[in-house]
Amino acid sequence: MEIQQSLFLSSLQEPETKEKAFKTLVQEYKERLYWHIRKIVLDHEDANDVIQNTFIKIHLNIDKFKGDSSLFTWMYRIATNESINLINSKSSKMGVQNQEWIESKAAGLEADSYFDGDEAALILQKLVAKLPEKQRIVFNMKYFDGMSYQTISEILGTSQGALKASYHHAVQKIKTKLND
């Protein structure tokens, strides 16, 4: 896999092969990144904006990527940061806290034609939206995406111990709300 990533990275960084390799990258990761972003921002249109910004940043900065982490974790870090930037920007423009903005998006999921979850999924999304930002992102990455703490640690730049604590607290809060 490392040789593959190295070869692919070379083709992304070589002017003659960059565009073709980038199209392959987009095809390979757009759906996974979209759903990662969507779970953070909750809204389809916002997720589309963020994924576009994410791929623009990846394209503009791929030459600077040194391979200290995997390409996957580097792209997820960009997607996560872009998602948080969108939330900060939108909530600031509306004059509300980030948490309020996310909860209002969760409340509108029932009317979202792009949300295809059942009633249980809707309840879970509303409960997840009430979590503090870090817990919400860690919960999404661990529970929905099935990522390891090691991978999440590389993406978020947080220790595995802190991530385990965040996930544990998130699960406890969700269980408590479900039992109420």
Encode pLDDT of 57-75 as tens digits.
999 999 998 888 889 999 9
SS3 assignment, position 31: helix
What is the reported pTM?
0.83
Instruction: With cut-offs at 50, 70 and 90, classify the pLDDT of residue 19.
Output: very high
Question: Which pLDDT score is estimated for 112?
Answer: 55
The residues, any chain, with a CB within 8 Å of residue 7's CB and separated by 6 or more, are none
C-alpha to C-alpha distance for 4 and 120, rounded to whole angstroms: 40
Residue 153 scores a pLDDT above 90: yes
- CB-based contacts of 124-129 (< 8 A; 24+ apart in sequence): 124/174, 125/42, 127/173, 127/174, 127/177, 127/178, 128/170, 128/174, 129/42, 129/102, 129/103, 129/105
Task: Tell me what the mean pLDDT of segment 133-142 comes to.
Answer: 95
Whether the predicted pLDDT of 145 surpasses 50: yes
pLDDT band at 1 (very low <50, low <70, confident <90, very high): very low
What is the pLDDT at residue 36? 94
